[in-house]
Amino acid sequence: MASFWILAALIAAAAQTARNATQASLTRAIGTVGATQVRFLFGLPFACLFLALVTQFTGESIPALTPRALGFTTLGAVAQIGATALMLVTMKSRGFGVTSAWLKTEPVMVALIAAVVLGDPLTLPALAAIALATGGVLLMSVKPGTGLAMWREAGPALTGILAGALFGASAIGFRGGITSLETGDFLIRATTTLVLSLGLQTAILMVWLLLFDRTALRASFGVWLSSLGAGFLGAFASQFWFIGFSLTSAANIRTLALVEVIFAAAVSRYVFRQAITTRQIIGMAVICAGVGWLLRLHG
């Protein structure tokens, strides 16, 4: 069970890659905000189903919420919405590759903040492994000749880095919410926190859409079959992210999650028939080296 977090993170990364591919088509059909809320609104019923199945097969009761658990989970839910919004704003001005480079500084931020806020253990070798894997993502994301240029505009750089920090805060919030539940094993605590977080996010975005963008909300129901698919994949991925958060530090999970970049590259190559450059191959090798080092430290 000690190493089950590795399998959980790998399953989550693969499911998230599939969800991202599904949401790409939804964005073209119903817009960015509409496609964003799909993962929450259409994912919530599946999360509730997961919770029902867990209680049925384990015989455990749903843990009682504590103020600390509610506070951390709310932090995670709100931070994830804010991070997504800032990510989309940054992509509009600087493009996908540069934005990804800023976002993927997240594992280093998570490691440092979680060590202070949650008391998650952090050693220098582990921090070095996290930094190495993050460096591999930067190598894949930043094209030659743009390394300095990406920092020249303070606005996009600030929003990109802030988005990465908020994604890190969401991971810390979710792990804090899971570990703050006082009863139940890792599975029931992870699934309970998932339902709570998706419920909060759905409520927040529903209010926003009803007030400011009813067209996008109606459009998401117009393509309900695709929305259900994206919702299921999002909830399925989140289920395994949360299982991972229940078993090990947020930094370990978010570092192993960098393999999602490799999965995405594989989809680009073998599904969309897009070429992979030598630089990207080297970047993937560096990611694997950093992740492998981290796993060896926890072996």
pLDDT digits (tens, 9 = 90+) for 39-82: 889 999 999 999 999 999 999 999 999 999 999 999 999 998 88
DSSP helix/strand/coil, 62: coil
Closest CA to 237 of 4, 20, 1: 20
Contact 283, 140 (CB under 8 A): yes
Residue predicted with more confidence, 124 or 8: 8
pLDDT exceeds cutoff 90 at 105: no
What are the helix (H) ranges across the chain?
A: 4-30, 32-41, 44-58, 67-94, 96-103, 106-117, 124-141, 154-179, 186-212, 214-222, 224-247, 250-256, 259-270, 278-297
pLDDT, one tens digit per residue, over 241-251 is 999 999 988 88
Residue ranges covered by each domain of the chain = 4-297
- pTM summary value: 0.81
DSSP helix/strand/coil, 2: coil
